[in-house]
Amino acid sequence: MHIKVGDTVKVVSGDDRDEQGKVLSVDRKTGMLVIEGVRRVYKHVRRSQRNPQGGRLSKEMPIRISNVQLVCQSCRSAARTGARFLNDGTKERFCRKCGAAQGEIAPPRKAHAKK
């Protein structure tokens, strides 16, 4: 998975298609993520001491990671991402449209360093 918390992503399928938002949380085990302002549902809350008025609470629900694409920071469009090794052995994400770096994935390793 090449999506991290804090990335801007675009929804490519489902009811919320073409909406963009910031990733709030990622669950790698189930392949789901929560995006700010996407897939909002209402939870009906009963009156209590914590919530004296009761009513409807709006919250975001998880969405499959396969239904989103990372938005490139340099070309400002949703694009597929790839992984590549730099000369020092650091693994990074990159945009397949423009080739711009999208951040580090793994620290440098001698086995992947170019000689």
Residue 1 pLDDT = 65
Mind listing the pLDDT tens digit for each residue in 3-36? Answer: 999 999 999 999 999 999 999 999 999 999 999 9
- How many beta carbons lie within 10 A of that of residue 23, not counting itself? 20
- Please list, in sequence order, all residues whose beta carbon lies within 8 angstroms of the beta carbon of residue 59, skipping any fewer than 6 positions away: 40, 41, 43
Domains of the chain are: 1-71 (2.30.30.30), 74-115 (no CATH)
Mind listing the pLDDT tens digit for each residue in 74-97? Answer: 999 999 999 999 999 999 999 999
Asked whether residue 52 carries a pLDDT value surpassing 80, the answer given is yes
**Model confidence, pTM:** 0.82
Sheet hosting strand 8-11, strand order edge to edge: 63-64, 32-35, 20-27, 8-11, 68-70
